[in-house]
Amino acid sequence: MTERKSTKLVSAALALGILAACSPVGGPLLNPQGNSALLQSQSAARGSKIFNADARPQMAPNQVIVKVKPGDPNLFVQSLARSGARVVDFFDIDTRVFLVESASRNTDDLIRQFSQDRNVEIAQPNYLVSLNQIPAAPRQQGRPNMAAPNDPLYAQQWHLPHVGALDAWSQGGQGNKDLIVAVVDTGVDYNHPDLKANTIKGKDFTKESPDGLDPIDGFGHGTHVAGIIAAVANNGEGVAGAAPNVKILAVKVLSAKGGGSLFAIAGGIKHSVDMGAKIVNLSLGGPAVTDLISSAVGYWATKKGALLIAAAGNSNTAVGTPARIDDYYMAVAASDQANKRAKFSCYGKELSVSAPGVQIMATTPTYKVPLNDHGYPQNYAFLQGTSMATPLVAGVAALVWSRHPEWTAKQVRQHLEKTAVDVGAPGKDNESGFGVVNAAAALR
């Protein structure tokens, strides 16, 4: 779509009063009982204009994501006006992807309507996604003391020496302070003593803050992810991150109940890249569906030069969304101390690499959050999941990109894959991808 037609489409929508204020749409919250059901789904047929309405995961009610065909934008605007639906958000005008809502018609009705609209290329539900379900709290076990850093809990961070972090730091430093890694998650405790110096406030896409400008962590998950990437090292406090000098951009797309929508996550990714993030960490997942918005934002972010790193999932099944879209997302599996796939980790041909994701010590909020109700303490805790493996890969990627700032995202990804420790079947496999990420080898 040309710039003129793109502008015309939005202008026409505004004139008809069907384009609501374009604040990001977070969608309804997930049920507080848990998120695992979101990972049990059937994929829609690739290329199909209408998605299978049966046996599918949870979705935002009365909403659909629509991709408009190239052509006269007024035709789509007119069909919206006739149906009583309205555009409530859009990802990026040039992608022709819109979030459409109706107060009187349910999602199935909207999909049926748009499947018959000659101006629509494809329509799908605005699926709800969640944190990758956190397995039961592991037993806290210490490890022998190691050489520096002086962070008191470093001795319990087995994952750092396992991937050669100390060797990598001695070779290439601890990351460039100007390199930004976005944590698109439940937010971040940006006042945490181990994170405060390295955290930049992004936006809140969940509507939990009145102005959408406070990405404070309401659940606890995002703070743990942030600490794995860039907790300050050698400050005599808590833990160390894999790339302790880089900056974290806190972007909140998942609520205090741990859920949000694919469209909100797409908005968070776009905001991250617009704010200068080179790497976007996505320790979240949804059903293994053919997803229009994840593909659109993946394509857009890749064109902008960002590296998207996503958790494979914790359901011990096929890789979920968005990680399964391996053209644009680097899918990460979780491994254990023996370099074997963690029993909960998803698997599949889409995997890029794996990384330690069992008994990972990192930061948690300094105040009470729902995570504490699951047996995890404030300040610091062990968690496990592909959600923990993914930020470790993001941290190593940040070290590599700091060492080679002239490289593209594709070069960074290929280098991580090339230098990974091959485990299991020779070469790339469905259990670990190219192998377990290795910071020391990547920095040589």
Strand partners for 182: 249, 280
CB 386 within 8 A of CB 346: yes
Strand partners for 382: 361
CB 289 within 8 A of CB 269: no
Distance, in Å, from the CA atom of 169 to the CA atom of 161, rounded to the nearest integer, reads: 11
Longest dimension (CA), the chain: 69
Annotation says 221 is catalytic: yes
Q: Which of 424, 232, 405 is nearest to 336 (CA)?
A: 424
Q: Which of 362, 355, 420, 357 is nearest to 393 (CA)?
A: 355
Please state at what angle helix 73-83 crosses helix 3-15, rounded to 10 degrees: 20
How far CA 164 is from CA of 26, 73, 122, 159, 276, in Å, comes to: 39, 54, 46, 9, 28
> 302-327 burial, b for 16+ CB within 10 Å, e for fewer?
beeebbbbbbbbbbebbbbbbbbbbe
Could you say which of 185, 189, 204, 326 is catalytic? 185
How far is the first Cα of the chain from the last one, in angstroms, to the nearest whole number? 45
Annotation says 387 is catalytic: yes
Could you say which of 159, 221, 224, 415 is catalytic? 221
Distance, in Å, from the CA atom of 205 to the CA atom of 199, rounded to the nearest integer, reads: 18
Residues forming the active site: 185, 221, 387
